[in-house]
Structure formats: structure tokens, C-alpha cells
Amino acid sequence: MRRRIGSGTGTLLVALLASLAILDGQAQEARALRSTLDLQVPMAPAVIGVDGEPRLVYELHITNFAAADLSLKRIEVLDADGQVLGSLIDAELASALSRPAGLPDGADARQLATGSRAIAYLWLALGSDRSQPRHIRHRLEFDLVRSGKHESVVMESVTVSVRLDAPIILAPPLRGGPWAAVYEPSMEWGHRQVFYAINGRARLPARFAIDWVKVDQDGKSFSGDKTNPANWHGYGAEVLAVADAVVAAARDGIAESNTLPDGSRPRNSLEKASGNYIALDLGQGHFAFYEHLKPGSVMVKVGERVRRGQPIAALGSTGDSMGPHLHFHVSDASSTLAAEGLPYVLESFELVGAYDSIEDFGNGARWKPLQGNPSASRSAELPGANVVVRFPY
């Protein structure tokens, strides 16, 4: 399984070192300024506890402004003292990179034609013994390709500030379990890699989104006919307010098919992709989103105040959904797509196991219980990718 190293309120747009001095390969003493890479960090890097360890999460946008194609060889993330927090090379670098609209089949995102852009999706494990960095910078190594000849270049960016505020702490959005936390930071076209350019600005609303799917002890999310929504274990489960909040947006007019797609993902318009949904205004620029809700189940109206733990809807499969689940994320606006995803953690849950990979979940394989410990209580962290948890009743 590919792993990827690694937002914040407001927008941080950092233009980094559009030109730099590089060594001329023909004359070692001579130096010349050349236009090379533009680097941007649209949202401030955030540190969030994930599956028991702190991770630094953000995106690095890399645009080739050179009058030549180039090949990325290495990305290093450094702290303010120059210590290397993480390094990406070879296959790990390739898996961390994509294009704004995804990669064509067989393409290598490390190869940047002049004028093209790659995005590095960083999900960096810091280790529990390391203090949180306040600032970071990047060191990139790449080859400029001119007339079939390769010229090696190393450049460093200016400093980027890391957001220091702690992620918002929320109550669970569901009860009981077991629930699978389905997501994968390195998955092409997964939540983590889908930007939407709405109203003249590209945003990543589902940066920290999780699809919650109820499973049984055998790893199955349904019994009987898979194409019948009612046969899924989580169908109709109560969806709960994660905090005292005000309803900022709600929709309950999207119908649900009696038969689920078998293999191909449904494609609705962008307006309908989220299906029926609720957005809660949590205050301080944070909005909690619940998507794909069951038709006729939305119990709240815009402007209504809700209390933490209050049932507000039922789990369904409307919009772009392959089966009944709750899509949950937090963002900085009450729009499903025109918003930036923000970090959050859950107040408490019981970790009971995990799938080896998102592919195992999709194939209906059994999840594996925790080794040597039937359960583990977790607090103030984001569940890891494809783990299985229980929530308090």
C-alpha cells in the first residue's frame, strides 16, 4: 500500500523562489540566474494526531517556469534549524505527486514539462519524540532536460509558517459500531486529492474527510443482495451532532435509487454529488459536513440550534455514493465544494482493529483485531486510514 507524507483558517499563499543561482555545467566558476520552479503552499501546514502519532499535513504546489522540461528527483522537508523532517525519493516521491486534474494512465508525475504543475500531497509522520515545528522549508533536487542532456539542480525555498492552533475536538458523528474509517491519503481520486475550482479559486474541501461504513466481524458492510441499500448494516443509522452548533445549510430533496450501482461510481452534477446533506456552524470559521443522507431523514432546518449528540438525520446513499455511508468532514465555509478542509479530531473512540489496506476493505476481506489487546481507547485524535472503531452509545 502506498503511503504518503505529508489546513487552516484563511488562505496562506506563499510564492517561493521563482529564480535562483545554479552552477553552469560548462564553466564551474560562472553562475547565471535562471527561471526554474514556483512553489506554493495554499493552506498553512497543520499538525494533527492520527492513529497515535503527530502528522504534518499540507500540499506543496510545484510549477515548472523553466524554458525546459525537468525531472523531480527528491523533496526534503526541513525545520527552521535545517533538520530533515522527511524525504521523498524514487517510488515514494512518485506516489506523493499528482496533477491538479489527476494523472493520465501510465504518466509519471515526477516529469514536469515546461509550464506544467504537480502537487505533492504531504502526510508526514513526525514521531512522538519530536517537538512540533513552527516553520518549515523545502529542498528540491531535479534535473533540467535540454536537448537530451540532464543538468542537476538543487534549490531551497523560503520559510513557511506552520499553524500552531490545535485542531477542533468533536464528539463522534455516529453511535456504536463497528465502523470502518474509510480513506487513504495516497489514493488517486481519493478525498485527499480532489480539488474543485469554484468561483475562480481551487480548494480542497475534503482534505480530512472520512467515509464511515458500518461493518460486521467478518468485514462485510452488507448481508444478502449488495445492490439493495436496506441490506447494508449502517443504512438508516442515526447521525449525530458533533457539537453544540447552528444549522448553516441543509438539503433533503435528493432521491435515492432502490438499486445501488454494482461496480461503477454514479456521476451526478457537482450540485448533487453530495446528495442530501447538513452543514453545522461550529463557530470560529469551522463547519461540519454530513453527506449522502437518507431521503426524508433530515430533522433540522437552517438557523436551528442543535445540541451535541442530538440525532439530526439518518445515514443513506444519495448523490455520488457506491453504498450507504456517512461522509464527514470539516471545512472553513458552509459550501460543500467552495471551501477548504480543516483539521479536526474526535473526542473519544475505541480502536478495535484495522484493514490492511483500502483495497482489502473494498474486496470485503476481514479486518484484523488489535494484536494482544482486544480494544484501545483513543482520545483527541483522527482515526487512522481504514481502522475499525466503536463509538460510545
pLDDT of residue 375: 66
Work out the mean pLDDT of the chain and round it to a whole number. Answer: 88
Q: What is the pTM of this model?
A: 0.89
Residue 113 pLDDT class (50, 70, 90 cuts): very high
Residue 247 pLDDT class (50, 70, 90 cuts): very high
- Number of structural domains (the chain) is 2
The answer to whether residue 4 is domain-embedded is no
Where do we find the cell 457539537? 243
Whether residues 148 and 179 fall in one domain: no
Whether residues 98 and 209 fall in one domain: no
- Helix, strand, coil shares of the chain as percentages rounded to 5? 5, 45, 50
Note the pLDDT tens digit of each residue in 292-340.
Answer: 999 999 999 999 999 999 999 999 999 999 899 999 999 999 999 999 9
CATH assignment at residue 175 = 2.70.70.10
pLDDT of residue 374: 62
Whether residues 147 and 222 fall in one domain: no
Q: Region 271-278: what's the mean pLDDT?
A: 94
Whether residues 242 and 147 fall in one domain: no
Whether residues 146 and 174 fall in one domain: no
Pick the last residue of a domain from 161, 188, 220.
161
pLDDT of residue 270: 86
pLDDT of residue 101: 82
pLDDT at 83 over 50: yes
The answer to whether residue 289 is domain-embedded is yes
Pick the last residue of a domain from 104, 132, 161.
161
pLDDT at 76 over 90: yes
CATH assignment at residue 94 = 2.60.40.1470
The answer to whether residue 13 is domain-embedded is no
Pick the last residue of a domain from 112, 130, 161.
161
Whether residues 211 and 321 fall in one domain: yes
pLDDT at 2 over 80: no
Strand partners for 377: 350
Note the pLDDT tens digit of each residue in 154-202.
Answer: 999 889 999 999 999 999 999 999 999 999 998 877 899 999 999 999 9
Whether residues 187 and 120 fall in one domain: no
The answer to whether residue 243 is domain-embedded is yes
Q: Give just the sign of the alpha carbon dihedral 107, 109, 115, 117.
A: positive
Q: Which residue, among 228, 229, 188, has the nearest Cα to 95 in the 3D structure? A: 188
Q: Do residues 346 and 383 make contact, with C-beta atoms less than 8 angstroms apart? A: yes
The answer to whether residue 268 is domain-embedded is yes
The answer to whether residue 216 is domain-embedded is yes
In terms of residue numbers, what domain contains 358?
Answer: 168-391
Whether residues 157 and 58 fall in one domain: yes
Q: Region 113-136: what's the mean pLDDT?
A: 91
**To which H or E segment does residue 93 belong?**
helix 90-96
Q: Which residue, among 256, 226, 220, has the nearest Cα to 364 in the 3D structure? A: 220
The answer to whether residue 266 is domain-embedded is yes
Whether residues 199 and 290 fall in one domain: yes
Whether residues 149 and 202 fall in one domain: no
Whether residues 288 and 153 fall in one domain: no
Whether residues 174 and 156 fall in one domain: no
The answer to whether residue 5 is domain-embedded is no
